[in-house]
Chain A
Amino acid sequence: MAVRGTIGGIDSPEALEKALRAAYYLADEGIATAAYLALALGKPLLLEGAPGVGKTEAAKAIAAVLGRRLIRLQCYEGIDASAALYEWNYPRQMLAIRQAGDETIDIYGETFLIERPMLATLRAPDSTVLLIDEIDRSDQEFEAFLLEFLSDFQISIPERGTVRAAGRPVVVLTSNRTRDLHEALRRRCVYHWIDYPTAEREARIIMMRASSVAEATARAVVAAIGKLRREPLSKAPGVAEAVDWAEAATLLNKGGARWPDAFKRSIGVALKDEEDLAFIAGRLDALIAEAAA
């Protein structure tokens, strides 16, 4: 296996963490280490975590740090090779056959091939980052199909032969863990479970993402969100919701709303489930007052 000590001037988890910070992503030690190892060992990086903890953001930040183009493949049930890998341009092939007349033509030539994300990555491994998003949404057939790609970085097109990557591409997979991924897939990857950030880090993330938010607001939001996450809600607010809430409350406050009220009125950006809102409604005032104190 090709072990590369440095990629794009990054030679340690600390260096990567610093670079990610410059790309507006605050990484903790765990994710910085996992991402660095994935880059250095040339293995795919598998990120799992609850919705809204910044898995996709991490991939975007890694692409930004490396100065590469991010190719995103959103998974869904029934995704197959023609959506992920390549597709033939059938109408064009058909026309070509008709026009060729008595001449021979290669209908499986380059001009008839439509590149999809995985093939695009294989062909330009040094200038792209492939993000395979929400792999748990795809079905098991697709997961099995990914195995060849992720271990050897090659794919076979029956009509043309095998396409192999010149170098090891950078691949990031994310999963919300709505189902268990196959062990074979997990073991091919460098793995990291992203947890909700600590209060301190979450406050810094909010201030970094939304520059208009004052520090006191950010801390109050983080405290309130922390309490909400401990409630049995059907959808706990993620980091993105925390940022939105802080931003929305700041906006309302600038428009004239007083502080505790601004939080309360903008709760809709943090909790997006009617039942959750009803569940928390009675205690919301106390919760916000406590968090703002």
Chain B
Amino acid sequence: MSEAPQLPRAARAFVLFVALLRANGFAIAPEQTTAFLEAIALLGPGGPEDVRQAGLATLAPPPERRAAYDLLFRLHFLGGEEIRGDEGEDGDEDEDEDEEVMRLQEEGRGDEEPPLADEANASGEMALRAEALAERRFGPSGPSDALRRLAREAPSRLPRRRGHRRMRARRGPWADLRRTLRESARNDGEVMRLGRLKRRARPRKMLLLIDVSGSMKARSEDNLRLAHTLLQATPNVEVFTFGTRLTRVTRALRLKRREQALAAAANLVSDWDGGTRIGDALQAFLAVPRFGSYARGAVVVILSDGLERGDLSALREAVVKLSRRAWRLSWLTPLAVGSSFVPQTEALIAIRRFVDDMVDGGSSAAVVAHVLSLRQRRTA
């Protein structure tokens, strides 16, 4: 309590609430705390609901962490009594959803920061048990040659597209009026040389979908390492994992240090080494408009063996949709060895027609080689 001796007693609880949020991984700037206090003063406050709303508006918790925010709010201001009552309901709801739809995970248990207090996590754990989910710890490992090559060459060798921002150029379709005028003002209004503008090239969006099911067990760890390297090397990369669930791990992998990032991602993903419902996972991915738009015009790389245990038609439909949105769709499977690979499994045969490349994904070196070759002319 000694951290803010000059604060009025009434304000202390609110400042401590902000500290609690920060301790649980919400990024809150000091000016937001100030705004929070001002907002509370403005609103009355008429009751706890006013304080909650003020917090939502000024502290801006991301929507997918709304539940965590509400939980912490109740924990801090209303005490533990009420929480237990609500927990049961939440847990039930989660399980209902599980049966019907593919679960999406964006902010999982604890995220990249220390987990909440035990009781706060109870509902999450309860829902998870239903699927007998596994956790995974990654051992430390030095960067392999393949990853080093990826980090070095990715910025210059990944696919690009023409951006809409213009830049100076020797020749180009537009006149650079601003520069031309500045120069001509120096010469009494005489235009000596017309400056030109052209469109600047930008790195193309990339989307990595990584299979973490049991059949890909040998590869999933390396694939995540690869995703981390790629994410560090270039912007505009989105990474999802799928098995029985679909999990966005982009944020976790943004952490710079590899061990830390992988631990955070491992913590987020809860369906390690389980079954595969690729079709459902891809459908779920496309059904969220925000995620679906990551694929538009993007380089989509799916790292999966295509051993589908769910519905084949769902898989085909999803792949068709994805291929229509993507700039280039690659399916990297460990089964595809050698250049004369002919798919044998039913799932791969079903989707072969719709993917641009179906190549070897059996080693990091092979994956890296393919990713770095994406800029060259399409093979299919």
Please give the residue numbers on chain A whose beta carbons come within 8 Å of chain B beta carbons, in ascending order. Answer: 1, 3, 5, 12-13, 29-30, 33-34, 36-38, 40-41, 43, 46, 48, 50-51, 76-78, 80, 88, 90, 93-94, 97-98, 100, 107, 139-141, 176-178, 180, 183, 186-193, 232-236, 275
Contacts and interface: CB of A to CB of B under 8 A. Distances in A.
Nearest to B314: A232
Contact of A233 (B185, B189, B287): B287
A32 B52 CA distance: 14
A129 to B, nearest CB: 18
16 contacts: A5-B42, A33-B56, A33-B57, A34-B57, A37-B35, A37-B57, A41-B38, A77-B165, A78-B164, A78-B165, A94-B189, A100-B189, A139-B163, A187-B31, A188-B31, A190-B60
Interface stretch (B136-144, B176-184, B226-234, B267-275): B176-184
Nearest to A107: B185
A33 B178 CA distance: 45
B29 A187 contact: yes
B290 A177 contact: yes
B101 A90 contact: no
A94 B181 contact: yes
Contacts of A12: 43
A88 B57 CA distance: 38
Contacts of B35: 1, 37, 41, 43, 190
B284 A1 contact: no
Nearest to B166: A78
B165 A141 contact: yes
A268 B226 CA distance: 44
A interface: dominant SS: mixed
A263 B85 CA distance: 42
B34 interface: yes
A33 B53 contact: yes
B81 to A, nearest CB: 25
B321 A234 contact: yes
A90 B175 CA distance: 11
A97 B182 CA distance: 11
B72 interface: no
Interface of B: 27-29, 31-32, 34-35, 38-39, 42-43, 49-50, 53-54, 56-58, 60, 63, 66, 101, 163-166, 177-178, 180-181, 184-185, 188-189, 191, 235, 251, 283-284, 286-287, 289-290, 292-294, 321
Given A178-B289, A187-B28, 10 more contacts: A29-B49, A50-B289, A78-B166, A88-B181, A93-B181, A97-B188, A176-B289, A176-B290, A183-B27, A191-B56
Nearest to A3: B38
Contacts of A97: 184-185, 188-189
A166 to B, nearest CB: 22
A247 B38 CA distance: 43
A192 B56 contact: yes
Nearest to A29: B53
A50 B54 CA distance: 22
A141 B163 CA distance: 12
A93 B184 CA distance: 11
